[in-house]
Amino acid sequence: MSGHARTSVRVGVEIAGSGACLPSRRLTNNDLVSMMDTSDEWIVQRTGIRERRVYDPKVEGTADLAIGAARAAIADAGMKPTDIDLVIVGTMTPDAPTPGVASVVAARIGAGHVGAMDVNGACCGFVFSLNVAHDMINSGGYKSIVVIGADTITRFCDFTTAGRNVAVLFGDAAAAIVLRVNQDPSIGLLAQAMHSDGEGARNLFVPGRELDFPPNVEYAPEKIHRIYMDGQAVFKFAVGTFPKLIEQTLEKAGLAADDVDHYVCHQSNYRILNSARERFGLSPEKLSVNIDRYGNTVGASVPLVFDELRKSGRIHPGQKVMFLAFGAGLTWGSSLWQL
């Protein structure tokens, strides 16, 4: 049953399961060398990426990956698709303007006529969706929500030398978690933050038409539907924003950096993650990195890290987990959980 009556009773929200779905095609840095003027050494040194997965548009899309991730997460929670009463997908690369990815997922996993919506927050799509989903359960409206991050961003990359500064960074993936009502009200969100800066989008955007080009970027027809990124400007934004976001979220929850067991971070560059580790004195166990194997998978990046942690037995009840992302929009956001 979808859309239960809203009540003033606050309940707990648990993370009941997680899952991921990756395209089978692997593209290593050396594969890229045969497509453009680049090198394994340049990519590893500047980003930490060694390989990424790339979808095959002839046989799969964002929805297919999202469906795989949703099914895996629902099974991991020991639930059935019919137990789910809302599907939310964080994505900036739906297969088509309509239907939304979430509608396709709800139908194809067999969830029935439940609510389904996409959230376009680029790399923050999953974290924003998680915050929305938490409050939908916490306020008594829904019981079980599958939250998915799914993107096939490589379709907006130019795999020639002209696009090398962007194409080497990205990969395709989907990952999901299932949120479920829990009678213990101490379980769930402790603090969250969501931000945007539309002006900053001039440094990271995907133009759909000539009018979308800001004054700092010269229009050319071949740049339509290709990611434009001023790497250094975005790097500066990320390195500056990341610690502020962590501090702001800790302060809201009244916690110290060390009180958090896992910082589950958007994977856009190893050097950005490492600067946060150094700033807060975090061990590699507290801030996991998987960018070496997947690159930047946009909305899938954060839940993909969480799923790996969970599958490796490092997520336990009682822990505190901070999900963090920043990216195009520009957007940045956090979600701090008591498990």
CA distance 176 to 130: 10
User: Of residues 41-80, which lie at the interface with ligand UT7 (CB under 6 A)?
Assistant: 42, 46-47
> Are the C-beta atoms of residues 185 and 10 closer than 8 Å to each other?
yes
- Check binding of 38 to ligand UT7 (CB under 6 A): yes
> Are the C-beta atoms of residues 3 and 130 closer than 8 Å to each other?
no
Q: Is 195 considered catalytic here?
A: no
Question: How far apart are CB 13 and ligand UT7 at their closest, in Å?
Answer: 27
Piece of 130-138, 163-171, 191-199, 240-248 that binds ligand UT7 (CB under 6 A): 163-171
> What would the two tokens of residue 25 be?
């095609």
Q: Which of 165, 196, 248, 274 binds ligand UT7 (CB under 6 A)?
A: 165
Q: Is 296 considered catalytic here?
A: yes
* Sheet with 115-119, side-by-side order of all strands: 12-21, 173-182, 144-151, 86-90, 115-119
Piece of 20-28, 189-197, 234-242, 282-290 that binds ligand UT7 (CB under 6 A): 234-242
CA end-to-end span of the chain, whole Å? 26
Q: Is 135 exposed, middle or buried (0-12, 13-18, 19+ CB in 10 A)?
A: middle
- Check binding of 333 to ligand UT7 (CB under 6 A): no
Piece of 39-47, 77-85, 135-143, 311-319 that binds ligand UT7 (CB under 6 A): 39-47
Piece of 21-29, 63-71, 151-159, 231-239 that binds ligand UT7 (CB under 6 A): 231-239
Nearer to ligand UT7, 303 or 327 (CB): 327
- Check binding of 238 to ligand UT7 (CB under 6 A): yes
99-129: b (≥16 Cβ within 10 Å) or e: bbbbbbbbbebebeebbbebbbbbbbbbbbb
What x-and-dash track marks residues 243-272 binding ligand UT7 by CB under 6 A? -------------------------xx---
User: Of residues 190-229, which lie at the interface with ligand UT7 (CB under 6 A)?
Assistant: none
Q: Can you list the alpha helix ranges (DSSP code H) found in the chain?
A: 29-33, 40-47, 62-76, 101-109, 125-138, 164-167, 231-253, 270-280, 291-294, 301-311
State the residues that interact with ligand UT7 by CB under 6 A: 38, 42, 46-47, 123, 164-165, 168, 231-232, 234-235, 238, 268-269, 296, 327
Q: Which residues are catalytic?
A: 123, 266, 296
